[in-house]
Chains A and B, each alone.
Chain A
Amino acid sequence: MEEVRAFGRPFHAMFEWVGELGFFCGRVAKAIFSRPFEGAEFLRQLDAIGAKSLPLVALAGAATGVVLSLQTRDSLTRFGARSLLPAVIVFSLVKETGPIITGLIASGRVGAGIGAELGSMRVTEQIDAMEASGVDPHKFLAGTRILACIVAMPLLTLAADFFGILMGWIACTLADPMSLRLFLSTGLHGVTFKDLLPPTLKTAVFGLIIGVVSCFQGMRSQGGTEGVGRSATSSVVLSSLFIIVADILLVRLIIELF
Chain B
Amino acid sequence: MTEQATSEPPIAVQGLRKSFGAQMILDGLTFQLVAGQVTCVLGRSGTGKSVLLKLLIGLTSPDAGSIRLDGQDMARASPKELHEARKKIGFLFQQAALYDSMTIEENVAFPLRRHTNLSDAACHQRVLQLLGSVGMDRDRNKMPSDISGGMSKRVGLARALALEPAMVMFDEPTAGLDPITAAEIAKLIVELRDQRHITSLVVTHDLHTARTIADRLIVLDAGKTLFDGTFEGLHESKDPFIAQYVKDAD
Q: Once bound together, how far apart are the Cα atoms of A126 and B107, in whole Å?
A: 11
Residues of chain B within 8 A (CB-CB) of A128 are: 54, 59, 93, 97
* CB-CB under 8 A for A125 and B93, given A134-B84, A136-B79: yes
Q: Once bound together, how far apart are the Cα atoms of A126 and B111, in whole Å?
A: 13
Q: Once bound together, how far apart are the Cα atoms of A134 and B101, in whole Å?
A: 19
* CB-CB under 8 A for A133 and B95, given A124-B100, A128-B54: no
Min CB gap B36→A, angstroms: 22
Q: Once bound together, how far apart are the Cα atoms of A129 and B153, in whole Å?
A: 13
A133 near B111 with CB under 8 A, answer yes
Residues of chain B within 8 A (CB-CB) of A135 are: 83, 110-111, 114
Min CB gap A224→B, angstroms: 12
CB of A131 within 8 A of chain B? Answer: yes
Residues of chain B within 8 A (CB-CB) of A136 are: 79, 83
Q: Once bound together, how far apart are the Cα atoms of A121 and B95, in whole Å?
A: 12
* CB-CB under 8 A for A134 and B97, given A128-B59, A129-B91: no
| Interfacial residues of chain B within 55-108, with CB under 8 A of chain A in the complex | 57, 59, 79, 83-84, 86-87, 89, 91, 93-95, 97-101
Min CB gap B250→A, angstroms: 32
CB of B115 within 8 A of chain A? Answer: yes
B100 near A131 with CB under 8 A, answer no
Residues of chain B within 8 A (CB-CB) of A255 are: none
Within the complex, which residue of B79, B97, B114 is in contact with A125, where a contact is CB–CB below 8 Å? B97
Within the complex, which residue of A117, A120, A134 is in contact with B86, where a contact is CB–CB below 8 Å? A134
CB of A132 within 8 A of chain B? Answer: yes
Chain A interface main SS type:
helix
Min CB gap A13→B, angstroms: 15
B93 near A134 with CB under 8 A, answer no
Residues of chain B within 8 A (CB-CB) of A129 are: 91, 93, 97-99
B114 near A133 with CB under 8 A, answer yes
A124 near B95 with CB under 8 A, answer yes
15 new A-B contacts, CB < 8 A, other than A128-B97, A134-B114, are A117-B101, A125-B95, A126-B97, A126-B98, A128-B59, A128-B93, A129-B98, A129-B99, A130-B99, A131-B86, A132-B91, A133-B87, A133-B91, A134-B83, A134-B163
Residues of chain B within 8 A (CB-CB) of A131 are: 59, 86
Q: Once bound together, how far apart are the Cα atoms of A132 and B79, in whole Å?
A: 12
Residue of B nearest to A38 (CB): B114
Residue of A nearest to B50 (CB): A125
Map CB proximity to B onto A27-44 as digits: 1 under 8 Å, 0 otherwise.
000000000000000000
Residues of chain A within 8 A (CB-CB) of B89 are: 132
B99 near A126 with CB under 8 A, answer yes
Residue of A nearest to B53 (CB): A132
Q: Once bound together, how far apart are the Cα atoms of A133 and B158, in whole Å?
A: 13
Min CB gap B116→A, angstroms: 11
Residues of chain A within 8 A (CB-CB) of B98 are: 126, 129
Q: Once bound together, how far apart are the Cα atoms of A124 and B84, in whole Å?
A: 24
Residues of chain A within 8 A (CB-CB) of B93 are: 125, 128-129, 132
Min CB gap A114→B, angstroms: 13
A134 near B115 with CB under 8 A, answer yes
